[in-house]
Structure 1
């Protein structure tokens, strides 16, 4: 039995609306995305296979909201928004319903033309739209997942996503068809720091920490700078960014 038949048949037997449900299950097993009580947004959610899995994972105390231009048949415990996620009114409705999400998912794919470069470019465009939506609704420390077809435009997309998250991985679930070029960008722990790795900024050292590093503040965010003293005014390059603090070194 082929993988296609196996996952198709399992979906039918287990009551899932699409074989794609197993992709989310495998992504979650590998990357620990959705937990009980989470708020999850699924973009391009029709026909609802990912919504079913998400609802199981968040349990009775979680929230799952699906967005799609197509009508989605009711899923127990799931809310839906019908519309284009790039529309400002639809995004506003999503924010009103969700507030802040713990996880934003996108399994969207373009209508296939069979022309590889075109299909790849369209998949990157959809993933970027999902990323932009995630930046509006995703809570600090939240996670983001988007499907994209492998190709030359992937590196730029991944770099942009990496700028906003602690780390990003490319994951290919076993439930994906072997002949498919699809993969998932799995971005963990959204950053909220006002700086990013590689930024150069002017700072004043306000104090010296217990380890001997100077302490600078940028919009309330702490940067540790070695070899500095209180009241030093220095230009630094950010070398590492964590959720609540980061590290920097003086530029020459």
Structure 2
């Protein structure tokens, strides 16, 4: 029998269902994704290594939901859905069951053909399916992790994700096989704000914040605008957007 690699042996020793568990552990160590009490949805979850790690991190007060076309053997504290994430029916079921999520994970991969360009294109397709589902599920400030094979369409996928999050990183955990072309796009802090950097609009300053900046509201979203006073109506340009608040500059004082 061919010698099994380090992470395969380690997963057997520590009771994880797959070596992939260590990929999520390493991603979490770097990006601080999983926290106690959170709701985590794992797409393409079989055989369940990522579900085990997620359940450990969110604890008894958290919720973990796994989805896969293959049957996932029971894991304590984990709910599973059997279905194909490329089908709208499964996507809708996941959204109905979860309601919302703090973290959406996807380790989905296509059936490999050995033709690099085709495998890459299929992996990007699956990643986009996961991305669309994540946009429906994630609360403001939520995180998304998705696997994709390296290739020409990777940059386009990342560019599409970037406006929806505070930032996106491309990561390669040590537990990935040396010969693998997989990388993970780690998107932090989902932005649900009604504005984006560069937007210009007219606002009324409703108050003054603790730092002395004017406070404006756009659909209940808070923008801090320096050099303004309560009661002023000013034209602004949005400079920076966070999950719960943003910063802008008044245009008549550039």
Q: TM-score, normalised by structure 1?
A: 0.89
RMSD, aligned α-carbons: 2.3
Structure 1 counterpart of 2:10: 10
Structure 1 counterpart of 2:65: 65
Of the structure 1 ranges 90-99 and 75-84, higher mean CA displacement relative to structure 2 is found in: 90-99
Deviation at 1:219, TM superposition (A): 0.8
Structure 2 counterpart of 1:183: 183
> Any unmatched runs of 5+ in structure 1?
none
Q: Distance in 1 between matches of 2:8 and 2:238?
A: 48
**What's the CA shift string for 1:191-220, capped at 9, x where partnerless?**
221111222333344445565544332112
Say which SS state the counterpart of residue 196 (structure 2) adopts.
coil
Q: Distance in 2 between matches of 1:3 and 1:145?
A: 30
Q: Distance in 1 between matches of 2:86 and 2:195?
A: 27
> Would the aligned equivalents of 1:86 and 1:133 in 2 still touch at CA under 8 Å?
no
> Would the aligned equivalents of 2:140 and 2:244 in 1 still touch at CA under 8 Å?
no
Structure 1 counterpart of 2:218: 218
Q: Distance in 1 between matches of 2:186 and 2:7?
A: 22
Q: Distance in 1 between matches of 2:209 and 2:104?
A: 37
Structure 2 counterpart of 1:245: 245
Structure 2 counterpart of 1:194: 194
Structure 1 counterpart of 2:45: 45
> Any unmatched runs of 5+ in structure 2?
none
Q: Distance in 2 between matches of 1:4 and 1:250?
A: 61
What number of residue pairs does the alignment pair up? Answer: 251
Structure 1 counterpart of 2:157: 157
1:162-177 alignment to 2 at 5 Å? 162-177=162-177
| 2:45 is equivalent to residue 84 of structure 1 | no
